[in-house]
Amino acid sequence: MRDVAVVSFAQAPSVRADQLRNEVEILMPVVAEALGRSGISKHEIGFTCSGSSDYLAGQPFSFVMALDAVGAWPPMAESHVEMDGAWALYEAWARLQHGDIDSALVYAFGKSSMGDIAELLTLQLDPYSVVPLWPDAVSVAALQARAMLDGGHHSERDMAAVAARSRRDAASNPNAQVRTPLDEAAALAEPCIVSPLREHDCPPVSDGAAAIVLAAGERARQACARPAWIRGIDHRIEPASLGARDLATSQSAALAARHAGALGGAFDVAEIHAPFTHQELILRDALGLGDRATAMNPSGGALVANPVMVAGLIRIGEAAQRIIDGRARRALAHATSGPCLQQNLVCVLEAD
Amino acid sequence: MSEQVYGIKVPIRLDYTYVVGTAPARFLRGLAQGKIVGQRCPSCAKVYVPPRGSCPTCGVPTRDDVALSDKGIVTTFCVVNIPFAGSAVKAPYVSASVLLDGADIPLFHLLQEVATEDVRMGMRVEAVWVPNDELQPSMNSIRYFRPTGEPDAPFESFKEHL
Ligand SMILES: [Zn+2]
């Protein structure tokens, strides 16, 4: 495998609704910042890959329009995934393995504020047997939370503890959106939105964007004093049908972690993409994290900033940034996509 | 005997509150005042209308507003012969790319007050606005374009804008 590293990361602060800027206007400064930090110009970038969803924008080919933020002239090699930007990063990493190019730009954007995100996510379910029932995203997540609680290993108190820690960490993250402290006892006394999920168990609705520059070998060392080397990366998927898998566990996350080399050793930081509190508990089990991670979601995670299609890429960016800054030597990053953790990507990052 | 099911209908409706963006909003507000506002790229100096906030060639923000003429050149066009449901215009009619004077990218609009067979590339045209009290932040503020009667623009003057 060719050594490929994250050499720069930038993100837009997550907001409830950016009612002034369109996607291109949000994305442009983020792309410019990521490229600027890497010192790699858009003309040198060998491959560009983005993650977004036309369903969020409410119009077809919104990802093509987003290229206006990059300036696709002279003609460039470009690709897109209708997935979280973490999967765009995976494609760029695979593209860099070909060996003929030395750098890649990855970006993701999404404005969940323009529609009803909980209803919109219904459309990723089975169109014949599930969509006609219109279960919204919170209800579908609640099925999973119930399955986890019924397993008896985690409690609603554990879920509230995840929310409280995320809020605490959000206080020192300028890009976080939900930063009010959470009183666990008071929060547990609140009624459920959809049993067993309370407001603090659910992610905010967010608009946002993020960009990462990848570089290989010597080019990465030139671009960054302390590159965050991708030592392992893998993604796995489970059946789309919610009844065809055990919702209380995440086999695909465990499998991806194994293939990414994430099951051994300690991590200075783990950034886990868990939009709901119970999903962090399920993922911690699946990844066998236990107390192997010194800092768990120090950014506050998707519970405090959840731009859909971006939040997974931000996990990789946040983890990599800690290595680039010298605050961490080894980091675990995780991204998820689909209902109830259907798809999972695991990435192990290390300093030299 | 159970009845075979060959298909189902699943009505799907999603509602959006669309945010056009800062630059397109300036363009739309201009239309409400009977003005056409483009934006110039600080890097390559091209003027975009409607502006989307960036220069798609350079990938940099466009911030300088440019007041554009409501006259321009038909760079290319098509004659629509087949009516479609909900169309407000009777076929045949002409949809044209109009390069406004001072702009580097054409606007797409309806062409009227001219026989379809008389429309040609290079034809000089002007906007016909709705009455002042009907102006709104929408392309509907321009009813259509029509010929000015000026001499045609030479091909060389717009060949880069096709
Ligand atoms: Zn330009």
The distance of A10 to chain B (nearest Cα, Å) reads: 16
**Closest by CA position to A276, among listed A111, A180, A163:** A163
Nearest to B16 among A21, A58, A65 (CB): A58
8 Å CB contact between B64 and B89: no
Whether omega before A74 lies within 30 degrees of 0, making that bond cis, reads yes
Q: Domains plus CATH for chain A?
A: 4-114+205-225 (3.40.47.10), 117-203+229-350 (3.40.47.10)
The distance of B63 to chain A (nearest Cα, Å) reads: 11
Instruction: Locate the chain A residue with the closest alpha carbon to B25.
Output: A20
Cα B93 to ligand 1 centre (Å) = 34
Strand partners, A269: A295, A331
Query: What count of Cα atoms within 13 Å lies in the side-chain half-sphere of residue A118?
Result: 15
- Per-residue model confidence as pLDDT tens for chain A (352 residues): 999 999 999 999 999 999 999 999 999 999 999 999 999 999 999 999 999 999 999 989 989 999 999 999 999 999 999 999 999 999 999 999 999 999 999 999 999 999 999 999 999 999 999 999 999 999 999 999 999 999 999 999 999 999 999 999 999 999 999 999 999 999 999 999 999 999 999 999 999 999 999 999 999 999 999 999 999 999 999 998 999 999 999 999 999 999 999 999 999 999 999 999 999 999 999 999 988 989 999 999 999 999 999 999 999 999 999 999 999 999 999 999 999 999 999 999 999 9
Question: pLDDT tens digit string along A264-308?
Answer: 999 999 999 999 999 999 999 999 998 898 999 999 999 999 999
Question: Are B56 and A72 a contacting pair at CB < 8 A?
Answer: yes
Chains A, B: CB contacts under 8 A, how many? Answer: 90
Nearest to A21 among B15, B22, B56 (CB): B22
Q: Residue A11: enclosing H or E segment and its boundaries? A: strand A4-11
Cα B41 to ligand 1 centre (Å) = 5
The distance of B55 to chain A (nearest Cα, Å) reads: 7
Tell me how crowded residue B120 is: count the other CB atoms within 10 A of its CB.
11
Q: Which residues contact B137 (CB under 8 A, 6 or more apart)?
A: B25, B28, B29, B31, B32
Cα B61 to ligand 1 centre (Å) = 9
**Closest by CA position to A165, among listed A301, A7, A272, A351:** A301
**In this structure, what token pair is assigned to residue A184?**
């666990």
8 Å CB contact between B53 and B62: yes
8 Å CB contact between B111 and B75: no
Nearest to A68 among B20, B25, B56 (CB): B56
Angstrom distance (rounded) from CA A21 to CA B58: 19
* Prediction ipTM score: 0.90
8 Å CB contact between B23 and B49: no
8 Å CB contact between A308 and A85: no
8 Å CB contact between A88 and A337: no
Cα A279 to ligand 1 centre (Å) = 45
Question: Are B53 and A111 a contacting pair at CB < 8 A?
Answer: no
- The C-alpha angle A92, A95, A96, rounded to 5 degrees, equals 90
Cα B44 to ligand 1 centre (Å) = 4
